[in-house]
């Protein structure tokens, strides 16, 4: 009866993905001078969410056909194949990592905005402000 709305679950999944990706970016920046270190990254959220949700269909009630009811699982970081290696074998580019960090901040801010607006809508529907 009192289930979390899907939009809030989606926002929470987006925030969790942004946090995991920010962790991988921070690890890359910390190891920017480590010889032989390979940059890590996560796949984009939309690819991860769609692959975990069973194409584009989700099973949210017992009577629904197809899909899965599982929530998104954060996949471990994968090795990024893009970029060139430095003379010491390191593949981290600080410029690329800073651009990724800005994208992650945008994703996290969007997740918080979605969650906040959803709370506002729920409060308005209950007659509270």
SS3 17: helix
Helix residue ranges, H only, 2-80: 6-30, 45-52
Domain ranges of the chain: 6-125
**Whats the size of the chain, residue-wise?**
129
* Nearest alpha-carbon partner for 43 in 93, 90, 80, 96: 80
Distance CA 95, CA 48 (A): 25
Q: What is the pLDDT of residue 70?
A: 44
How confident is the prediction along the chain (129 residues), in pLDDT tens digits per residue?
A: 467 788 888 899 999 999 999 999 999 999 999 998 988 888 888 877 766 555 455 556 665 555 444 444 555 555 554 667 888 888 899 999 999 999 999 999 999 999 999 999 888 988 876
* Nearest alpha-carbon partner for 17 in 51, 59, 64, 55: 51
């Amino acid at each position: 009866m009192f289930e979390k709305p899907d939009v809030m679950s989606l926002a929470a999944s987006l925030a969790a993905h942004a946090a995991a990706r920010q962790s991988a970016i921070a690890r890359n920046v910390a190891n920017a001078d480590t010889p032989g270190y390979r940059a890590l990254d996560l796949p984009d959220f939309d690819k991860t969410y769609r692959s975990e949700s069973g194409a584009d269909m989700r099973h949210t009630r017992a009577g629904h056909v197809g899909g899965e009811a599982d929530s998104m699982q954060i996949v471990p970081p994968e090795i990024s194949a893009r970029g060139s290696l430095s003379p010491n074998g390191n593949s981290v580019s600080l410029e690329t990592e800073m651009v990724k960090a800005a994208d992650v901040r945008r994703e996290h801010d969007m997740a918080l905005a979605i969650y906040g607006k959803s709370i506002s809508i729920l409060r308005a529907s209950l007659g509270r402000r």
